[in-house]
Amino acid sequence: MAIKGRMSGNEAVSYAIRQVNPDVMPAFPITPSTEIPQMVSNYIANGEMDTEFIPVESEHSSMSAAIGAEAAGARSLTATSSAGLALMWEELLLAASNRLPLVMTLVNRTLSGPININCDHSDGMGARDTGWIQIYAENNQEAYDNFIQAYPIAEHAKVHLPVMICQDGFITSHAVENITLMEDELVKDFVGEYQPEEFLLNPGKPIAVGPYSVSNYAMEAKKNQEDAMVQAKEVILQVAEAFEKISGRKYGFFEEYRLEDAEYIMLIMGSAAGTAKEAVDELREKGKKVGILKLRVFRPFPAEEIAKALSKAKAVAILDRCESYHGTGGPLGEEVMAALFRSKVSIEAVNYIYGLAGRDFTVDHAKEVFGELESMITKGIRPEQFQYIGLRK
Amino acid sequence: MRTEIEKIKETTPHQDLTEGLMVFAGGTSKVVQTGEWRTNTPVFYAEKCKQCLLCAPVCPDSSIPIKEGKRGEFDYEHCKGCGICEKACPFGAIEMKGGVD
């Protein structure tokens, strides 16, 4: 039977890590993810799990050690945030190109500068082209559930790619909310034992991982890596379906919140989706046809599925918790608009930037955005593209 | 997934390459001549050598071949010229000289 609890996002993910009990966890502390290796260390010290914890000297080392352990044949894990993820940059690409199914719990925090420890998605978005699968959570429950699904996705024979399980720094990672947990045995059975086909510490079956590749091979290897990312879409849905059977909680590439007849849609990712849902509920009571598309799986990017879900709307607001500094908005804005164009879905689309470095995003902000979408369609007043929500002017 | 690497050629389609270009074989570095990276070269004086074999295990590139309990001439196709063997030899039977040859 499900266990009712109250936990922060970091507690929830640490609880899931204890249940999965991976073989090796190298980690280096960085706010706001520090609690995760700290709590895991406590579990290990208390004899509740037997993961080999490696206290390393930097995130460059934690990712390198996770890669080494995974290549050796161990189920590996690390946790980080912000500048820690940035320091892993080179190794992130190696983990993916060497096709190592390790998992990282990312607690999203802004990147400097100005130096700041609060939430936005600039760390995860900065790693968007490193070849990692990226799954984002709205709350502690989703962070817990997503972590339990991470290894079955990563280790699937059609995938063999690393997975990043993302939650919003402080807002999700440190806020205590109700949660429904699963029994240890149920989680262990779902995730299973890691049985790699090929690994370094395999006597009599020598291999070389990550060899130098001349130009005649490297491009083919990259194509195979891309194919695996595309195949991951099917696997992510299969794992979600299997997870629903044991948990009763349904997951897909995104959540469609009151979208059935929605004319105005907000596309948003992470904890702010909860705030936006409240705005939708209030506006729906006033008869406004509004809804939320909450993106969960950012990599692989479900372009066609998003375009289809938006196709019947009059206008969409795409909310980025990240600035790309190229004059045309944020990463979600770019990719969603490209998806709409390729699928020939001609609706109005406005890209907003919100919540940078922990700036509040309120129910009133979300209502204003819906108001702007409506004015654009009914009164022809075009809102400013790429505007900052809540900016002092 | 295990593939005979001899079957992989520069004309092999991408679907038939190994995952992550993993190589399913051991000792594959032997076929690649890496000795040319060297800037210093060890010289072996056989007449001073007592065959104590202290040099062979410290060589990071396994470039001191041992046959029937005795070391022979350096494997210059793989020796990087690090000079560890010279330091390990108690009898002055190895001397580092500048250059590749």
Put simply, the answer to whether A198 touches B27 (Cβ < 8 Å) is: no
Q: Measured between alpha carbons, how far is A118 from A110 in angstroms, rounded to an integer?
A: 6
Query: A300 and A229, same structural domain?
Result: no
Residue of B8, B21, B23, B34 to mutate for A, most A C-beta atoms under 10 A: B21
Q: Measured between alpha carbons, how far is A171 from A167 in angstroms, rounded to an integer?
A: 9
Mean pLDDT for the stretch of residues B77-88: 97
Residue whose C-alpha is closest to residue A119's, from A104, A107, A128: A107
- Domain-terminating residue out of A228, A247, A266: A247
Mean pLDDT for the stretch of residues B1-28: 87
Entry pTM: 0.93
* pLDDT beyond 70 at A325: yes
Query: A309 and A226, same structural domain?
Result: no
Query: Which positions in chain A touch B31 (Cβ < 8 Å)?
Result: none
**pLDDT 10s digits, A309-322:** 999 999 999 999 99
Q: Crossing angle, helix A215-247 and helix A184-191, to 10 degrees?
A: 150
Query: A156 and A133, same structural domain?
Result: yes
Query: A10 and A148, same structural domain?
Result: yes
Q: How many residues does chain B have?
A: 101
Residue B8 domain-assigned (yes or no): no
Q: How many residues does chain A have?
A: 393
**pLDDT 10s digits, A79-92:** 999 999 999 999 99
Helix, strand, coil percent content, chain A, rounded in steps of 5: 40, 20, 40
Q: Is A223 on the interface with B (CB under 8 A)?
A: yes
- The CATH number given to whatever domain includes residue B31 is 3.30.70.20
Residue A18 domain-assigned (yes or no): yes
Query: Which positions in chain B touch A224 (Cβ < 8 Å)?
Result: 14-15, 17, 19
b/e B49-61 (16+ beta carbons within 10 angstroms → b) = beeeeebeeebeb
Task: Give the count of beta carbons closer than 10 Å to the beta carbon of residue A7.
Answer: 20
Put simply, the answer to whether A208 touches B23 (Cβ < 8 Å) is: yes
Residue spans of beta strands (DSSP E) within chain A: 3-7, 24-27, 52-55, 77-80, 103-108, 133-136, 163-168, 177-181, 254-257, 264-269, 290-295, 297-299, 315-320, 348-353
* Residue with more model confidence, B5 or A146: A146
Enclosing H/E stretch for A92: helix A89-97
The domain in which residue A357 lies consists of 254-379
Residue whose C-alpha is closest to residue A163's, from A294, A241, A302, A70: A70
Put simply, the answer to whether B17 touches A217 (Cβ < 8 Å) is: yes
Question: Do B90 and B51 touch, CB atoms closer than 8 A?
Answer: no
DSSP sequence for A102-163 = -EEEEEE-PPSSS---S--SHHHHHTTTSS-EEEE-SSHHHHHHHHHHHHHHHTSTTT---E
Question: Do A145 and A187 touch, CB atoms closer than 8 A?
Answer: no
**pLDDT 10s digits, A367-379:** 999 999 999 999 9
Residue A11 domain-assigned (yes or no): yes
Region class of A369: left (phi > 0), else alpha (psi between -120 and 50), else beta: alpha
Residue A390 domain-assigned (yes or no): no
Query: A141 and A112, same structural domain?
Result: yes
Q: Which two tokens stand for residue A163?
A: 């997975």
Q: Tokens 């790699």 identify what position?
A: A196
pLDDT for B7 equals 86
pLDDT for B25 equals 87
Put simply, the answer to whether B14 touches A211 (Cβ < 8 Å) is: no
Residue B4 domain-assigned (yes or no): no
- The CATH number given to whatever domain includes residue A84 is 3.40.50.970
Q: Measured between alpha carbons, how far is A77 from A163 in angstroms, rounded to an integer?
A: 10
Confidence band (pLDDT; 50, 70, 90) for B35? very high
Query: Which positions in chain A touch B37 (Cβ < 8 Å)?
Result: none
**pLDDT 10s digits, A93-135:** 999 999 999 999 999 999 998 999 999 999 999 999 999 999 9
Average pLDDT, chain A: 97
The domain in which residue B52 lies consists of 26-98
pLDDT for B32 equals 86
**Number of structural domains chain A divides into:** 2
**Using CB atoms within 10 A of its CB, is residue A145 exposed (0-12), middle (13-18) or buried (19+)?**
buried
pLDDT for A25 equals 98
**Number of structural domains chain B divides into:** 1
Query: A235 and A324, same structural domain?
Result: no
Query: A239 and A285, same structural domain?
Result: no
Residue B11 domain-assigned (yes or no): no
Residue B84 domain-assigned (yes or no): yes
**pLDDT 10s digits, A288-312:** 999 999 999 999 999 999 999 999 9
For chain B, percent of residues with pLDDT exceeding 70 = 98
- Domain-terminating residue out of A206, A226, A247: A247
Query: A259 and A174, same structural domain?
Result: no
Residue A385 domain-assigned (yes or no): no
Residue B71 domain-assigned (yes or no): yes
Residue A135 domain-assigned (yes or no): yes
Query: A66 and A104, same structural domain?
Result: yes
**pLDDT 10s digits, B42-74:** 999 999 999 999 999 999 999 999 999 999 999
Query: Which positions in chain B touch A223 (Cβ < 8 Å)?
Result: 14
Which A-chain residues 238-277 have CB contacts (< 8 A) with chain B?
none
pLDDT for B1 equals 57
| Of the candidate ranges A44-48, A175-179, A323-327, B3-7, the one whose mean pLDDT is the lowest | B3-7
Q: Pairing relation of β-strands B94-98 and B40-44?
A: antiparallel
- Domain-terminating residue out of A224, A247, A270: A247
Taking one residue from A and the other from B, the number of pairs with CB-CB distance under 8 angstroms is 56
Query: A203 and A313, same structural domain?
Result: no
For residue A161, give every residue at least 6 positions away whose Cβ sits within 8 Å of its Cβ, in sequence order, or none.
A96, A99, A101, A131, A132, A133, A154, A225, A228, A229, A232
Residue from the list B1, B10, B14 with its beta carbon closest to the beta carbon of A198 = B1
Residue from the list B17, B26, B28 with its beta carbon closest to the beta carbon of A221 = B17
**CA distances, A128 to each of A17, A96, A337 (Å):** 24, 12, 17
Helix, strand, coil percent content, chain B, rounded in steps of 5: 25, 15, 60
pLDDT for B85 equals 98
